[in-house]
Structure 1
Amino acid sequence: MSRPVPRVRSHGHPLPLTALLLALLLASLPLRAAAERVEVRGVQFATQLEEAGQAYRLIGHGLFRYMIWTAYAGAYYQAPEAPEPAPLSAIPRRLELEYFHAIEADDFAAATRDSLRERLGETAYRELLPALNAFNRAYRSVEPGDRYALTWDGEALLLALNGERLYRGDDPVLASALFGIWLGESPLRDDFRDALLGRR
């Protein structure tokens, strides 16, 4: 014969102990989630990351708008030992972008080439071109909800799509040039850069 489930009373009504414990557990979950993630227009980003033994902490997050469209949500991370944002330095850093619209791989490659040529000037752009071409060949087309991650882990430049690594290189100059598209002195959008760097 089974034993009865212990019951407690809440406002005069009996409540199974297991239900009470479950309610207490569920009540604690939103607080825990809020401490570990931030949300940008329905897109969630972790506040702490670790990849291949390297830790990253969230610096800032925001929305990238192009004309009348909201193109993607982004988050920028750095190694926790770096006290200030330094997106063009040699410290480990990471940029995540989640897209709201479909974009073709060739469009990513063309936009990357055009952005670097404009920001670097022709001579520096030509010096980076072989490494840039190898990087651009790694791009894949995206659908809404896909997420690219660009990482410099202190030794290697990595590009991943939805957690799948597409590229690995070792050129720190290319890494800083790519991060500079969004986070440099002349970024694609000042407001997006400032949001990623935690300035607003």
Structure 2
Amino acid sequence: MLPKPTGEIVTVQRINKKIAVLAALLSAVLIATSASANSVTERGERFDRVVEEDGQRYTLLGSGVFRYMIWTAYAGAYYQLEGEREPQPLSDVPRRLELAYFHEIAAEDFAEATEKTLNDSLTLFEFNQVKESMAQLNQQYRDVVPGDRYLLSWDGDQLRLALNGETLYEDSSAEFASAMFGIWLGERPLGEDFRDALLGQN
């Protein structure tokens, strides 16, 4: 039979146990703090502050939530090439817009909204310049469910539309890229508050 631990040993064991618990709590706090410092969260959707893709680093300019009537439609984050801190969403600067959806949306609804918004925001000449590219992109949309993410990016050479990391469409037209980014970030965006949040101007 093993001897019973003395009171002094029991006290030391309790202290060691408390130290272990405190260390675990501190570690959890540090991890959470680090994650918070490296990302932002919008309605439960996390966006990294720095993203690297194809050898280019992009930094977050702003994030926010887009609301349509009574609906909270999606959360978004806007990035530009590292070092480009002045918002230039309609320029040739490499940039990316990530949208995380809270509701189901059909592919045809995306196509309809894209055509209507571009038609409303562009001049007739500008719209005709991008009409063919828009028609091709509209054919590539897919339905989304809550948690899905669309990415619109321009790397300086290519416009890319991706869903959950899968590339659906590519185009080399800088004019079409600016037209697409203008849907959310132009002078006549879908929502001015959302645009200002994405550009870090709120």
Give the percent of matched residue pairs that are identical in Structure 1 and Structure 2: 50
Higher helix share: 2
TM-score (normalizing by structure 2): 0.89
**What's the offset of the Cα at 1:19?**
6.1
Aligned positions, number = 193
Report what 1:30 is aligned to.
Answer: 32
Q: Which residue among 123, 142, 165 is the counterpart of 1:140?
A: 142
Change (3 A) 1:172 1:17: same
In 1, Cα distance between equivalents of 2:109 and 2:25: 49
Report what 2:87 is aligned to.
Answer: 85
Gaps of 5+ in 1: 1-6
Higher alpha-carbon deviation: 121-130 or 61-70: 121-130
Report what 2:42 is aligned to.
Answer: 40
Contact 2:42 2:63 in 1 (8 A): yes
In 2, Cα distance between equivalents of 1:181 and 1:69: 19
In 2, Cα distance between equivalents of 1:127 and 1:154: 19
For the pair 1:73 / 2:75, whether they are aligned, the reply is yes
Report what 1:63 is aligned to.
Answer: 65
In 1, Cα distance between equivalents of 2:22 and 2:42: 33
For the pair 1:112 / 2:118, whether they are aligned, the reply is no
Deviations 1:108-135 (Å, cap 9, x if unpaired)? 0111011001111222212211111111
In 2, Cα distance between equivalents of 1:77 and 1:11: 51
Higher alpha-carbon deviation: 15-24 or 169-178: 15-24
- For the aligned residue pairs, the C-alpha RMSD in angstroms reads 2.1
Gaps of 5+ in 2: 1-8
**What's the offset of the Cα at 1:56?**
0.5
State the SS of the aligned residue for 2:91.
coil
Contact 2:61 2:85 in 1 (8 A): no
In 2, Cα distance between equivalents of 1:101 and 1:127: 32
Report what 2:163 is aligned to.
Answer: 161
| AA matched with 2:151 | A
State the SS of the aligned residue for 1:14.
helix
In 2, Cα distance between equivalents of 1:26 and 1:191: 35
Change (3 A) 1:10 1:27: farther
Report what 2:194 is aligned to.
Answer: 192
